[in-house]
Structure 1
Amino acid sequence: MLLDAIIIGGSYAGLSAALPLARARRRVLVIDAGLRRNRFSEHSHGFLGQDGVPPGQIAAQGREQLLAYPTVEWKEGTVRTVSGEADGFIVALSDGSESRARRLILATGVIDELPDIPGLAERWGKHVFHCPYCHGYELNEGRIGVLAGSQMSMHQALMLPDWGRTTLFLNGSALDLEQQAQLEARGVAVEEGAVAGLEGEGVTVAMQDGRAFPLAGLFVAPRVRPCPVVVEMGCALEETPLGDIVKTDQFKATSIPGVFACGDMARAAGSVPLAVGDGAMAGTAVHRSLMFGL
């Protein structure tokens, strides 16, 4: 059977993309590997009507509402390959099954490449964060750290004083005179020593010289990259300060005719509300292309 659309990724962007297609009575298959990017966080913030709700609960409620539409199918699994072209895409899963569709929507999210600091990975999403709008308020104006290591670290350090007293840990990075002046104007403290690791039940930055800095939270800017299947498809990528994302136009169309992309993989920012808005645009754009052509 030839479906109208296959959506690869069943998190917030994918769910949102499927909804307008379902409401247009189009036949849709959502394939989900079950690896939401924010699966490490206990609560989601900043999404109107769902502020403070566990992220898994938001996703589960969205799936339940989506599957109430009779033209929607859901399959748990990992996509192995994508072949074909518009009006005849073939999506092969790791279990050997195949599905065909006229259009594809990529909503796979991204892979976060975290700094190689002892103790950081196990605190990711709990005491170590990337988005102040998602997690800053809950730090209750406590001491906040920023771990330098990417082009976005300076941006984070200049933003975060609105949420608490902020210290930028250079950990081998360097600042020019202009950056020093900007940090001073925002009241950001700077620590130049090397970081040995993160310790404690919450998050304490341990320096190699023996000093320790207990914090309410630590922010890092991980480098992101698309999932391998997206790269193998050959979608044009766009380099951003956060890493490579899939390049799309204003209607979320990629460089491959008939393939659309949405969510964190297709924008240089990551949050639930932005992913939901992105997905809604992709879903309506796909419906438009089905009606009127590419």
Structure 2
Amino acid sequence: MTDTKNFEAIIIGGSYAGLSAAMALGRSLRNVLIIDSGLACNRQTPHSHNFITQDGAKPAEIAKIAKEQVLKYSSVSFLTDIAVSGEKIQNEFRIQTQSGKEFFSQKLIFATGITDIMPDIKGFSDCWGISVVHCPYCHGYELRNSKTGILANAERAMHLAPLVKNLTEDLTILTSGKADFTREQIQKLTSHNIKIIDAEISEIEHQKGYIQNVVFKNGEKMSFEGVYAALPFRQHSEIPKAIGCELTEDGHIKVDLFQKTTIDGVFACGDNSSMMRSVANAVYTGNVAGAMVNGELVKETF
């Protein structure tokens, strides 16, 4: 970490998306600061999948190698801290951190991710990312041909059902409350032998994060090997909204095809701005954001 307070770009968030953006900028000789808390959202997940060259690797190991490679570029600095506020002042951005530090930059990249809002179910958070998962592409192969549940209702359940059904014949939808499906949706699910249980869930019994039983408030239990959960979320950082970045109806930061937000000079990448929540997509969108920031800096000085 250098002593300078002025950078060409500040990247808030130093996981896959942020590091990918930093590599593109570092290789373009840009003076960059990455600010990251060190607490990745997938820190509980034992293995990462569906990312070529790293399939089955531990998420922390991928991030460790990425950080080592990125910091070989001398113009890139890394600060373990939390960005708590930011504002645009004329043609630059000011970022303040939890430790009281203040930095300025010409461009800003948010790679801040999202925060999942966990249901009030005992044992749920202990299993999240291990055997209670979000993505068939990230976890589906490992749960293939197993007794599987989908904790979701209505359209969220209907989105997941065909994807998971492709991977297992033993599938049950758990709505944990009144099921909200149309007659046509129920017919579709029934025709594929997908059961619907609307009893409220009180607990997930598990061993070190690996699910054993779903326990209902009526006292009944069902065994599962894995459960997909469609959770609501919020932006992990409030700074994008405070700066004026527009959000989509779903709550993601609105970006164009080049990862540019609705505020000039501000870009976003990774989970905070995409429904495709994966390491591969984070790396891709981070690379695009870094390249586009360099492109803007070049145009402004050429």
Could you tell me which residue of structure 2 aligns to residue 139 of structure 1? 143
SS of the counterpart of 1:51?
coil
**Gaps spanning 5+ residues in structure 2: where?**
none
2:291 to 280, 284, 287: 284
Cα RMSD, aligned residues only: 1.6
What is the CA–CA distance in structure 2 between the aligned matches of 1:247 and 1:93, rounded to whole Å? 24
After superposition, the Cα gap between the structure-2 partners of 1:210 and 1:247, relative to the gap in structure 1 and judged at 3 Å, is same
What is the CA–CA distance in structure 2 between the aligned matches of 1:128 and 1:206, rounded to whole Å? 14
SS of the counterpart of 1:246?
coil
Could you tell me which residue of structure 2 aligns to residue 170 of structure 1? 175
Check whether the contact 1:5–1:29 (CA below 8 A) recurs between aligned residues.
yes
Check whether the contact 1:158–1:188 (CA below 8 A) recurs between aligned residues.
no
1:137-286 equivalences under 5 Å are 137-149=141-153, 151-164=155-168, 165-172=170-177, 173-201=179-207, 202-203=210-211, 204-226=213-235, 227-240=237-250, 244-286=251-293
Pairwise CA distance, 1:98? 1.1
Note the alpha carbon deviations across 1:219-241, whole angstroms, 9 max, x for none. Answer: 1111111122233222100012x
Pairwise CA distance, 1:86? 6.6
Pairwise CA distance, 1:208? 2.5
What is the CA–CA distance in structure 2 between the aligned matches of 1:197 and 1:171, rounded to whole Å? 11
What is the CA–CA distance in structure 1 between the aligned matches of 2:113 and 2:40, rounded to whole Å? 8
- Of 189-198 and 283-292, deviating more is 189-198
What is the CA–CA distance in structure 2 between the aligned matches of 1:87 and 1:21, rounded to whole Å? 20
After superposition, the Cα gap between the structure-2 partners of 1:207 and 1:6, relative to the gap in structure 1 and judged at 3 Å, is same
Q: In the alignment, is residue 102 of structure 1 matched against residue 109 of structure 2?
A: no
SS of the counterpart of 2:25?
helix
What is the CA–CA distance in structure 2 between the aligned matches of 1:238 and 1:86, rounded to whole Å? 26
Pairwise CA distance, 1:292? 1.2
Check whether the contact 1:7–1:106 (CA below 8 A) recurs between aligned residues.
yes
Pairwise CA distance, 1:85? 4.1
What is the CA–CA distance in structure 2 between the aligned matches of 1:75 and 1:269, rounded to whole Å? 28
AA matched with 2:228: F
Pairwise CA distance, 1:127? 1.3
Pairwise CA distance, 1:35? 2.0
Pairwise CA distance, 1:150? 6.5
After superposition, the Cα gap between the structure-2 partners of 1:25 and 1:182, relative to the gap in structure 1 and judged at 3 Å, is same
Q: In the alignment, is residue 117 of structure 1 matched against residue 117 of structure 2?
A: no
AA matched with 1:216: E
Check whether the contact 2:37–2:81 (CA below 8 A) recurs between aligned residues.
yes
Note the alpha carbon deviations across 1:42-78, whole angstroms, 9 max, x for none. Answer: 1101111000000000001000000001111010000
Check whether the contact 2:123–2:206 (CA below 8 A) recurs between aligned residues.
no
Q: Please give the TM-score of this superposition, normalised by the length of structure 2.
A: 0.92
What is the CA–CA distance in structure 2 between the aligned matches of 1:237 and 1:150, rounded to whole Å? 23
What is the CA–CA distance in structure 1 between the aligned matches of 2:112 and 2:198, rounded to whole Å? 37
**Runs of 4+ residues deviating >6 angstroms:** none
Pairwise CA distance, 1:195? 2.0
Check whether the contact 2:83–2:97 (CA below 8 A) recurs between aligned residues.
yes
Pairwise CA distance, 1:178? 1.2
Note the alpha carbon deviations across 1:12-65, whole angstroms, 9 max, x for none. Answer: 000111111111111111111112121110110111100000000000100000
What is the CA–CA distance in structure 2 between the aligned matches of 1:69 and 1:40, rounded to whole Å? 29
**Gaps spanning 5+ residues in structure 1: where?**
none
What is the CA–CA distance in structure 2 between the aligned matches of 1:270 and 1:59, rounded to whole Å? 16
Q: Please give the TM-score of this superposition, normalised by the length of structure 1.
A: 0.94
Note the alpha carbon deviations across 1:263-292, whole angstroms, 9 max, x for none. Answer: 000112211001111101101110111111
Equivalent residue pairs, number? 291
* Percent identity (aligned): 37
What is the CA–CA distance in structure 2 between the aligned matches of 1:61 and 1:257, rounded to whole Å? 32
What is the CA–CA distance in structure 2 between the aligned matches of 1:190 and 1:207, rounded to whole Å? 14
